[in-house]
A and B are shown apart, each in its own frame.
Chain A
Amino acid sequence: MWSVPGAFPGGPSRALLTQNEESVVQVFAAGTALAMFEGDFVTAVIERFATDDDREPGFFRFPSPTGRRDDRPLVVGGDAAVLLSDTDDARDLLHWLTDADTFAPWLRAGGFLAPNVLAHEAEHYHDDVQRLLAQELLTAGDDLRFDLSDLLAGPLGGGEGQGSWRILQDFFAAATRPGAARDEVVADVTRRLDDAAHSYTDTRGIDPRACG
């Protein structure tokens, strides 16, 4: 898909210089692109740049690598609350944090989805897109996958341009280079990810088999 000419405005090397909110600008303000791969939180940015006569943005779930319709995990990022000391006050706080009403102002502001069924029923959501996304979240069941890339440590972690970010970005650059040999590129990225994971488990004395 990456190798399709015109898949990225300005070409793949330009795409690597595009920040995520700029891709929203490309779709909704500059009109140089038609679709983007983003999280639901960009709705707030869309609002800043879309004009009134623009159509409501649509969305679709990313196609499954296996091609089967029922095998499309919903990848989400989120926060988990953990009770470290079991006191009444702590329980109260946790209850409050997960209460449907607590979310209401956030839901109205947009850019936030609650896994709480009651919050969804309350229909506090900012717009239809958010409501549909929330519906998907509630019906995903076991297909829900947490993207823990923020929490990757050692040679795989790090911010922009580091760790696995760097490896995948080099993979993108290599794969979109004209005349790139597919097998070589895939073998290279697999090797680098393996090396990084091993050097991490080596330094920490973790048995890679134990990690699964």
Chain B
Amino acid sequence: MPVADPAPPRLLGQTRLVPDVGPERRGRAYPRAATSVMLLAPAALVLGLFVAWPVLRIVVASVTDDDLGFVGLRHFRTALELHGAGTVIGRTLLWGALVPAVVTTLGFALAIVSRRGRTGRLATFVLVAPIALPLVVTGIVFRLVYDPDPARGPVSGSVGLSFLGPRLVTVALMSAFVWAWVGLALVVFRTALDRVRPELADAVLAHGGGRREVFLDARWRPVLRRTFAIVFALVALATVRSFDLILVMAPGSVLDEASVLGVLQWQTSEGTTTGPSAALGVIWLVIVILAVTGAAWWSRQKWPPPLLLTDDEVAAADDPTAAGMSPPAWRQATRRTVLLAASVLWLFPLAVLLGTAWQTPRDAAVSGWWHRPTSLESYRVALQGDDLWRSLLLTGALALVVACVVTGVALLAASAIAWTPTVPAQLAGFVLLGAAVVPVQVVAGPIDDVLRTLHLTDTTFGLGLVHVALGLPFAVLLLRNALSDVELDRLRRARLAGRREWEVVWNLAPSAVTTAIAVFVLEFVQVWNDFVVGLLFGGPNAAPLGVVLHGQSRQFVASSGALAASAVIASVVPLLLVLVVRRRIVSGLVSGALR
């Protein structure tokens, strides 16, 4: 009986594969050019139609008149002379700077206090929940919290300030946004902190460093600086979505005081491409591109990358039975107090929503959310007729199909660019990053033109296509990062075993499963929670959930009971989904963000 051979199974009979002369390079495994083109085709088609062409059209429209004659900077002057345009640009920048600063700082502080123990895990659970809610629902929640009527809104009643009035409306909006996003920052920071090698701190201490040096040399420089930059940039880009919040939360009379570029653009363009609105769009694009470039420079990676703990090591360190010094009792008590306070603060808005939904529509309009007796009448009113049911079904089907298509198409495109030579790959990365950050309001006019040409205006299919185009760039980037981490050996084996290119992709797909699941769930939640795409490109025949909720919020007080009930119903699916697969989402996201 032959002895088991410890060596890896040999391929192609007895022939032993000998690596090429010279250093190992991924270049040995490049796919053929024709195959790459085929893998990239679906993504390129959708992105070309719904991102590249619209951006080009906007840039051209900003410097030409209706007959494509060059007009120089005339449209820019008109746009900046628009009533309050300067203030609006300033406010947009304030959103992009202040909100991420608060979210990163708060998220980091909470990450440190919630790292260990059961209270920490519980608090994380509470703090992460809001990120899953549609921003339209967040807007509804905080409009209830800040209700200017003292009989209904205890916050305005006790503080005596009109939070939804012209002076404070932006503060109210920002607080809602921070409430929604701190959870994400917290989770990312915690993952980053967990992966810092404890030996580094020991080494710094051994060399006579103090607490400050430990933080700077063992935490900040190896990992945290980059994580800070990435979280900051992510949240800054996400402030584009303040659009949803503003349209739901700000009463019509203070819309001007709350307005940001997205709202102004939407108001001035009225769904078509006009010179001044294109000029505003170009200004906005330039700001976004400058910000992304800055963030990329700030978060650039030293080579070689720092050694981080693997998943198994993190799990071992988290084991409560593992020996370790426990911090002094007073510090533990402080931590617990901070965590409890944060949890209560974060649960309060949810309590307001549930409390309002738990009353008859009449009570919800007249008295506060704490009012008794409770009733299910509002839920009954919300589900009356088939409006909500229909949009729930439509949104669910749309989200499912879009998430499947995005994951599939992105996987093909990612496998084409994950192992291409450096220069084209970097170029593709830049283009995708650019496409991922284009605010949809900027290109709304040209996208509408494309949809009209294809006879897809006000159809679910058209909405789906726009969603696919908007979701693809980020999905491809994430999957590319995951696939390019595949070990060289496996890649070669897959190339030798697969006779056709799709077999190679199929063989390698399992290594990107975690990221693919993250992409799928993120895309599903994104489409489910969407408001802006539905508002810009939907219509009576394609009215997704966000648009239906926004429609109801136009008569806020009179319908707040039913509206709160609808909001609760709309939040259940994304909330459950995100809470169930949150670990996979985080590890899928972080695998790209930390490396």
Binding site for B on A (CB under 8 A): 10, 13-14, 16-17, 19-22, 24-25, 29-30, 45, 48-49, 155, 158-162, 165-166, 169
CB pair B255–A21 under 8 Å, yes or no, is: no
CB pair A161–B256 under 8 Å, yes or no, is: yes
CB pair A13–B365 under 8 Å, yes or no, is: no
Q: How far is the CA of A13 from the CA of B251 in the complex (A)?
A: 12
CB pair A21–B254 under 8 Å, yes or no, is: no
The answer to the question of B366 belonging to the interface, with a C-beta cut-off of 8 Å to chain A, is yes
Residues of B near A21 (CB, < 8 A) are 555, 557-559
CB pair B256–A14 under 8 Å, yes or no, is: no
Residues of A near B434 (CB, < 8 A) are none
Q: How far is the CA of A11 from the CA of B55 in the complex (A)?
A: 47
The answer to the question of B361 belonging to the interface, with a C-beta cut-off of 8 Å to chain A, is yes
- Name B550-569 residues within 8 Å CB distance of A: 554-559
Encode B255-272 as 1/0 by CB contact (under 8 A) with A: 110000000000100000
Q: How far is the CA of A17 from the CA of B146 in the complex (A)?
A: 12
Write the chain A residue with the least CB distance to B259.
A161
CB pair A166–B362 under 8 Å, yes or no, is: no
Known contacts A20-B555, A48-B361, A160-B252; A25/B165 CB under 8 A: no
Known: A14-B148, A29-B366. 20 other contacts (CB 8 A): A10-B148, A13-B162, A16-B254, A17-B162, A17-B165, A19-B251, A19-B556, A21-B555, A21-B559, A22-B555, A22-B556, A22-B557, A22-B558, A25-B365, A29-B365, A49-B365, A158-B267, A159-B252, A162-B255, A162-B256
Residues of A near B164 (CB, < 8 A) are 17
10 A–B contact pairs at CB < 8 A?
A16-B251, A16-B254, A17-B162, A17-B164, A19-B252, A19-B554, A19-B557, A22-B558, A48-B558, A158-B267
- Name B135-167 residues within 8 Å CB distance of A: 148-149, 151, 162, 164-165
Residues of A near B252 (CB, < 8 A) are 19, 159-161, 165
CB pair B148–A19 under 8 Å, yes or no, is: no
CB pair B253–A16 under 8 Å, yes or no, is: yes
Encode B14-27 as 1/0 by CB contact (under 8 A) with A: 00000000000000
Residue in contact with A49 in the complex, picked from B83, B148, B165, B362, CB distance below 8 Å: B362
CB pair A161–B151 under 8 Å, yes or no, is: no
Write the chain B residue with the least CB distance to A21.
B558
Q: How far is the CA of A108 from the CA of B255 in the complex (A)?
A: 37
Name the distance in Å between B441's Cβ and chain A's nearest Cβ.
16
CB pair A45–B148 under 8 Å, yes or no, is: no
Q: How far is the CA of A169 from the CA of B558 in the complex (A)?
A: 22
Write the chain B residue with the least CB distance to A22.
B557
CB pair B255–A19 under 8 Å, yes or no, is: no
Residues of A near B555 (CB, < 8 A) are 19-22
Name the distance in Å between A9's Cβ and chain B's nearest Cβ.
9
Residues of A near B267 (CB, < 8 A) are 158-159, 162
Residue in contact with B253 in the complex, picked from A10, A48, A169, CB distance below 8 Å: A169
CB pair A166–B256 under 8 Å, yes or no, is: yes
Known contacts A17-B148, A17-B165, A49-B365; A161/B253 CB under 8 A: yes
User: Interface size (B, Cβ < 8 Å)?
Assistant: 24
Name the distance in Å between B111's Cβ and chain A's nearest Cβ.
37
Encode B79-93 as 1/0 by CB contact (under 8 A) with A: 000010000000000
Q: How far is the CA of A155 from the CA of B276 in the complex (A)?
A: 14
Residue in contact with B366 in the complex, picked from A14, A25, A166, A169, CB distance below 8 Å: A25
Q: How far is the CA of A59 from the CA of B559 in the complex (A)?
A: 24
Residues of A near B162 (CB, < 8 A) are 13-14, 17
Write the chain A residue with the least CB distance to B253.
A16
Residues of A near B83 (CB, < 8 A) are 155
CB pair B251–A17 under 8 Å, yes or no, is: yes
Q: How far is the CA of A19 from the CA of B165 in the complex (A)?
A: 13
Name the distance in Å between B75's Cβ and chain A's nearest Cβ.
13
Q: How far is the CA of A45 from the CA of B255 in the complex (A)?
A: 25
Name the distance in Å between A178's Cβ and chain B's nearest Cβ.
16
Residues of B near A155 (CB, < 8 A) are 83
Q: How far is the CA of A161 from the CA of B254 in the complex (A)?
A: 7
CB pair A17–B366 under 8 Å, yes or no, is: no
Those 9 A-B pairs whose CB atoms lie nearest each other, nearest first: A160-B252, A21-B558, A161-B255, A22-B557, A21-B555, A16-B253, A161-B252, A17-B251, A25-B365
Residues of B near A166 (CB, < 8 A) are 256
Q: How far is the CA of A208 from the CA of B151 in the complex (A)?
A: 49
- Name B352-384 residues within 8 Å CB distance of A: 361-362, 365-366
Residues of B near A158 (CB, < 8 A) are 267
Residue in contact with A160 in the complex, picked from B149, B165, B253, B365, CB distance below 8 Å: B253
Q: Which of B164, B366, B554, B559 has the most CB of A within 10 A?
A: B366
Residues of B near A13 (CB, < 8 A) are 162, 165
Q: How far is the CA of A45 from the CA of B554 in the complex (A)?
A: 14
Name the distance in Å between B591's Cβ and chain A's nearest Cβ.
45
Residue in contact with B255 in the complex, picked from A22, A29, A160, CB distance below 8 Å: A160
CB pair B558–A45 under 8 Å, yes or no, is: yes
Write the chain B residue with the least CB distance to A16.
B253
Q: How far is the CA of A48 from the CA of B366 in the complex (A)?
A: 12
Q: How far is the CA of A166 from the CA of B267 in the complex (A)?
A: 13
Residues of B near A45 (CB, < 8 A) are 558
Write the chain A residue with the least CB distance to B556.
A19
Write the chain B residue with the least CB distance to A196.
B83
CB pair A30–B366 under 8 Å, yes or no, is: yes
Name the distance in Å between B82's Cβ and chain A's nearest Cβ.
10
Q: How far is the CA of A22 from the CA of B151 in the complex (A)?
A: 13
Q: How far is the CA of A22 from the CA of B361 in the complex (A)?
A: 13
Residues of A near B365 (CB, < 8 A) are 22, 25, 29-30, 49
Name the distance in Å between B464's Cβ and chain A's nearest Cβ.
28
Write the chain A residue with the least CB distance to B381.
A48
Name the distance in Å between A175's Cβ and chain B's nearest Cβ.
15
Q: How far is the CA of A20 from the CA of B254 in the complex (A)?
A: 15
Write the chain A residue with the least CB distance to B164.
A17
Residue in contact with B558 in the complex, picked from A10, A17, A24, A165, CB distance below 8 Å: A24
Write the chain A residue with the least CB distance to B363.
A29
Q: How far is the CA of A136 from the CA of B148 in the complex (A)?
A: 37
Residues of B near A169 (CB, < 8 A) are 253
CB pair B254–A17 under 8 Å, yes or no, is: yes
Q: How far is the CA of A24 from the CA of B362 in the complex (A)?
A: 12
Q: How far is the CA of A165 from the CA of B252 in the complex (A)?
A: 10
Name the distance in Å between A153's Cβ and chain B's nearest Cβ.
11
CB pair A25–B558 under 8 Å, yes or no, is: yes
Residues of B near A19 (CB, < 8 A) are 251-252, 554-558
Q: How far is the CA of A25 from the CA of B559 in the complex (A)?
A: 10
Name the distance in Å between A111's Cβ and chain B's nearest Cβ.
14
Q: How far is the CA of A19 from the CA of B555 in the complex (A)?
A: 6
Name the distance in Å between B487's Cβ and chain A's nearest Cβ.
57
Name the distance in Å between B359's Cβ and chain A's nearest Cβ.
13
Residues of A near B149 (CB, < 8 A) are 10
Name the distance in Å between A120's Cβ and chain B's nearest Cβ.
29
Q: How far is the CA of A165 from the CA of B267 in the complex (A)?
A: 14
Q: How far is the CA of A52 from the CA of B556 in the complex (A)?
A: 24
